[in-house]
Amino acid sequence: MRLGDSLRLIGPLFIVAFVLCFPAKTSHAYEISSEQNDGYSIETKIIEDCLRTAREAFEKKKPQRAIPDAVYECIGNAAGDCMERTNYSTYGMVMCFDAETIFWDTMLDQNYTALAEWAEKLHGHVSPDDHAFKWTASETLEKMKTEWKVYSEAVCRFQASDYWRGTAAGPTRGACWMRRTAEQALKMDRKVMGICSWQQGSIIREICEARGVAQK
C-alpha cells in the first residue's frame, strides 16, 4: 500500500503531521536487503521496484544517465506498508520510518563515498596555479555533509515541537528525517550520475561502469 493510502486510516492529527514532512514528489545496483529496526521491517523491494519503474518509464524518452523526478514518489511507500502490517501503533510507526531511513541512509553513504573518491582524484587534476579553485571539492563535500545533517536535524526537531506533549512528536520527527535522508540520497545519486555522464566520469570509471554509464 502506498503511504498516501495508509495516512487516510490514521486520522486528522497524524495527517497534519505527515503533510509537513511529505510534500508530493533511483536506484542502481545498491546492495541492500530487507531492513529491520527492533523487529519492525520494511520490504526494500517496494522501493527498488518503484525506483526501477520510474527510471524505465523515463528512459524511453530521455538518456539512460538521467534520473527522473518521479523517483521522489518512491519515498515512504515501504514505511507505509510496514505501518499497515503493525496496525499503526505510535511505536511501530517510528520504527517503520526508521527502518526505511536505514535504506536511504545506506544509499546516501554509497553516493558520498563515490563523490569523495571523485573529489580526491579531481583535486589531483587541478593545476596548483589555478587560483579559481579556492576550495577543493573534498573540502566542500565534507562541509556540505556536516551542515546538511545539522540543518536537517534542526528542521525535524522543529516540526516535531508542535507535538511535544503528544505521541505524534515521534512519528513526525521520524517521517521528516526519513524524507530528508531520502531526498539527499537521490540528489547525491543524481550528482554521481551527472559526473559519470561527463568526461570527468573517467576519474571514477569503475563506479560509473557499475551504474551502466561509463564513458566510452
Q: Please report whether residue 215 resides in a domain.
A: no
Question: What residues make up the domain containing 135?
Answer: 3-210
Q: Please report whether residue 216 resides in a domain.
A: no
* pLDDT per position as a tens digit, 88-109: 999 999 999 999 999 999 999 9
* pLDDT per position as a tens digit, 124-177: 655 555 545 546 788 889 999 999 999 999 999 999 999 988 899 999 999 999
Global pTM value:
0.76
All cell numbers assigned to 144: 556540505
Number of structural domains (the chain) is 1
| Beta-ladder partners of 208 | none
All cell numbers assigned to 191: 550528482
* pLDDT per position as a tens digit, 133-143: 546 788 889 99
